Amino acid sequence: MIRGSTQLVAIIGRPIAQVKSPENFNAWFASNDQDLAMIAVDMAEKNLPAFIDALRGWNNLRGCVVTVPYKQVLAGQLDALSPRAAALCSVNVIRRGADGRLLGDNVDGEGFLKATRAHGFQPAGQRALVVGSGGVGAAIAYALCEGGVRQLVIADLDKPRAEALADLLRSAFPQLEIGNRYPSLENFDLVVNATPVGMGGTGEMPLPGLLLETLSPGALVADVVTNPVVTPFLEFARDLGCRIQTGPEMARAQMGNLGAHMGVMPLDA
């Protein structure tokens, strides 16, 4: 029930009907007796500056989750950014301070790492391959570097995009080995699909079959794709004996980080 006293949070994107956050947040608010609610906002890009200005004056709104396609464009319209959101030029959550100032952060990578910890993975000293250097791949790669991986390899069909991310990470984390070559997968402790490949049951794989045969059964293999839950890539890895992590696991793990940034939930919710 939304009452006059209810504090709001929002999620903005376009389209928005497919997002799961409103169900997840509202279920958590209800089961924890919180007078809070999440609303979903489908907004045209040309109206974003007016929306952002309205957020500054919206006294009963605590924050806003940001989803595709507005993570990058909104990063340029806020009053302050966390260091990682500034480095990535991308936000997926905004906190509205009591003074109306809007602070953006990007917790995609932190949520991803939280999910991997549930599989017993600790990034320090590990070797990781991230396929996909777009919004989510960059956030995951940044979090892996913050977590102290020994070696990070970034792959993308768009080579200049992958190289630009590698350059950004090399200057932020000069002590780490960041590359783009992966003749075999056998030495990786973590292999992540951070591309949309496999979404919607197409049966496509993000890496060639011969290369996939070289996966180590000791590796954790993760996918960001949320539908299907177990992608063909994860199915293949599971059949080889690898531990697997699904896209919905990452999304669920992130909820506490999003809620904590907006000040409406504990980190471990």
Q: Which of 38, 64, 129, 131 binds ligand NAD (CB under 6 A)?
A: 131
Residue 171 neighbours by CB distance under 10 Å: 9
x/- map, 61-90, ligand NAD, by CB under 6 A: -------x----------------------
Q: Does 110 bind ligand NAD (CB under 6 A)?
A: no
Size of the site for ligand NAD (CB under 6 A): 27
Peptide bond into 15 cis (omega under 30): yes
x/- map, 217-246, ligand NAD, by CB under 6 A: -------xxx--------------------
Q: Which is nearer to ligand NAD, 154 or 242 (CB)?
A: 154
DSSP 67: -
Residues 12, 71: Cα–Cα separation, whole Å: 10
- From the list 5-13, 54-62, 154-162, 228-236, the region that binds ligand NAD by CB under 6 A is 154-162
Name 135's Cβ contacts closer than 8 Å, sequence gap at least 6. Answer: 68, 71, 72, 88, 90, 108
Q: 107 to each of 5, 90, 111, 136, 154, how far by Cα in Å?
A: 29, 10, 6, 10, 19
Question: Annotated catalytic, 114?
Answer: no
Residues 128, 139: Cα–Cα separation, whole Å: 14
Q: Does 140 bind ligand NAD (CB under 6 A)?
A: no
Q: Which residues bind ligand NAD (CB under 6 A)?
A: 68, 108, 131-137, 155-158, 161, 194-197, 199, 206, 224-226, 247, 250-251, 254
Active-site residues, by number, are 71
